Amino acid sequence: MGIDPGTLKVGYSFLEIDKESGRQIKYIQSGVLTFSKYRNFDERIHAIFLLIKNLVIEYAPDEVAMESLIYVKNPLTLIKLGHARGAIVAAVLEAKKLQLFEYLPSVVKKIATGYGMSSKEFVFALMGKERGNSSFSSFDESDAQAIAMCHVLLRKSQQTLCEKACGEQKTPSKTVASYLGRKPARKQRTGDIMKIVRTTR
């Protein structure tokens, strides 16, 4: 299960790995949970906890991966995002004592596209292409799938979120493209993005 944390929206994606080959990836379900109707922040955090817990109970994943907390200029935003992440971690552990993993945004983008500074639009387009030229409801959903794909490739070499000590992750050498036997994407240009978006429609 891949989760893109947020305070107003939380993206999620469930992937299944073929146990025999260890390489074939099957898409199960993905979507976005929205919490904008909760004006009270405490109620919103509680709602995040409950809905994530229900998802984990319903789909029963073996492992969960999240995007790690990133630096934002507004301290209040950072604090709120920390609360949301805490609610997600608590919900996962409450529903099923799972291993939790986290990945830096740059690592997720490197794995998903071959370029660690890719735009959300480029990740959106490539993840849709990997899913059979289908689209997503928002960047939150496509980011969640990218996080799940990242974990598929790096899961054996990563420590769990609870075990992980402070420090930076190394840039991975694997990418979704190389994993599936294709050439990795280069630094994207606007024309490249539009070309991919058109092929997914």
CB 10 within 8 A of CB 32: yes
Selected catalytic residue, list 130, 140, 141, 143 = 140
Residue 126 neighbours by CB distance under 10 Å: 26
Q: What is the mean pLDDT of the segment spanning 110-125?
A: 88
Per-residue pLDDT at 69: 82
Selected catalytic residue, list 4, 63, 102, 141 = 4
Name the residue among 91, 104, 87, 123 with its Cα closest to residue 6. Answer: 87
Edge-to-edge order in the sheet of strand 2-4: 25-34, 9-17, 2-4, 63-67, 99-103
| The two three-digit tokens of residue 121, written as one number | 């639009």
pLDDT at residue 12 is higher than 90: yes
Q: What amino acid is encoded at 79 in this protein?
A: I
Residue 140 annotated in active site: yes
Selected catalytic residue, list 67, 130, 141, 143 = 67
Q: What is the mean pLDDT of the segment spanning 111-137?
A: 85
Residue 121 annotated in active site: no
Per-residue pLDDT at 22: 60
Q: Which CATH number fits domain 2-200: 3.30.420.40, 3.90.1150.10, 2.40.30.170, 3.30.420.10?
A: 3.30.420.10
**Which residues in 145-182 are b (16+ Cβ under 10 Å) and which e?**
bbbbbbbbbbeeebeebeeeeeeeeeebebbbbeeeee
Q: Are strands 9-17 and 2-4 parallel, antiparallel or unpaired?
A: antiparallel
Higher pLDDT, 165 or 170: 170
Per-residue pLDDT at 159: 54
pLDDT at residue 93 is higher than 50: yes
Residue 43 annotated in active site: no
As a whole-number percent, the residues of the chain with pLDDT over 70 amount to: 75
Per-residue pLDDT at 37: 92
Tally of CA atoms within 13 A in the half-sphere of 127 that contains its CB: 32
Sign of the dihedral defined by the CA atoms of residues 94, 95, 96, 100, in that order: negative
Q: What is the mean pLDDT of the segment spanning 169-190?
A: 48
Question: How far apart (Å, rounded) are the C-alpha atoms in residues 66 and 178?
Answer: 22
Question: How far apart (Å, rounded) are the C-alpha atoms in residues 187 and 20?
Answer: 34
Per-residue pLDDT at 112: 85
CA distances from 60 to 37, 46, 99, 128, 142 (A): 27, 21, 12, 24, 21
Question: How far apart (Å, rounded) are the C-alpha atoms in residues 139 and 36?
Answer: 16
Residue 138 burial class via C-beta count within 10 angstroms: exposed 0-12, middle 13-18, buried 19 and up = middle
- Check residue 180 and report its DSSP letter: T
Name the residue among 49, 10, 54 with its Cα closest to residue 30. Answer: 10
